[in-house]
Structure 1
Amino acid sequence: MEKLDFIGEFLMKHLCVEVKSVNGAYYEAILTDVTDTAIVVTFENMLAVMGGQKDFETKNYPFAEARLPPLEGPTVNVPSYAKGQEIEAKCRSDYPESIEWRRATIEEIFIDGEWFSVKHFKHIKLESGLEMKSAIQFVHVDEIRLPNPNPALTKDDFYKFEIPVPVDSRD
């Protein structure tokens, strides 16, 4: 099981992208391939759900609906947040166990800046089309970030090559 944990950790650190859903939210995904017009991804929770199986579901997203996640780590300053500030927040997802980032605005700050009331908008699918609805959610400081500054991906962001692997070395 350690090998799977290491592989999953490596994939999430180095091949992670965020893809935009029709509901307006961005979901963390793992890049698995690149075509002329799109990227091919699988979602983070699929590694855990499928127990490391190789035939997990993949999905294509046009480059315009994908971006790199923002930088993380000690080189990024932890910001001070203010009421009315635009941020991105982890919000309740339409899909279980998925991480969903939505544009939001800080409504109130509680408990020395540890908890926030945020207002975000969500696209709701109706028979007549999509409708925007606002929602208020309470989130911890670990579940908010400054808006992702990264632009949409393009084909030029990637260099694809294939390495032949002998049949007896596979698996």
Structure 2
Amino acid sequence: MEPVVDIAFDCLPLRSIGRLDAPLDAPAEYRRRHEQLVSAMERFGPDRTYFLYNARCVFHLANSEIEGMVRYEFDGIIRTDASDLLTETVELDARLASETCGGLPDQVETWFKDRVEKAVAIEFDRFVAAGQLSQRSSELGQDVNPSNLAGFSGMGV
């Protein structure tokens, strides 16, 4: 069966972050992301905590690639259980990016935001089960600088 929810994200295990200092000349988007990472580290610590970014969740409500589409962009934190295999907590900042339904009432938009978190939790469990989380962790290794997430390299020095 073709999925009716299209979810994509980049995943950063917080245990792979070596330092959390923000460059002084960082743009607003990077500063926002830096604050999210610092908050997640303070609240949950680095173990079993993952930051999802460059992410989208697209609901297809009709048999069309164009009509009946609701697209959210999001970033946020996923925390797994003690086994590090199942999603335990999802805290996303989901933003309606586009829709082709002719407008969404506020209550419907709020309902979809909740559906984004539930759909991402299911997809993250699949991501872990498929071995993609361990592959991503191996690729990153240790001492990742969060400024690389936003493509920010300061003044290029």
What interval of TM-score do these two structures reach, taking the shorter chain for normalisation? under 0.3
Query: Taking CA–CA contacts closer than 8 Å with sequence separation of 6 or more, which of the two structures ends up with the larger relative contact order?
Result: 2
Structure holding more helix per residue: 2
Q: Kindly name which structure, 1 or 2, has the bigger radius of gyration based on alpha carbons.
A: 1
Structure holding more strand per residue: 1
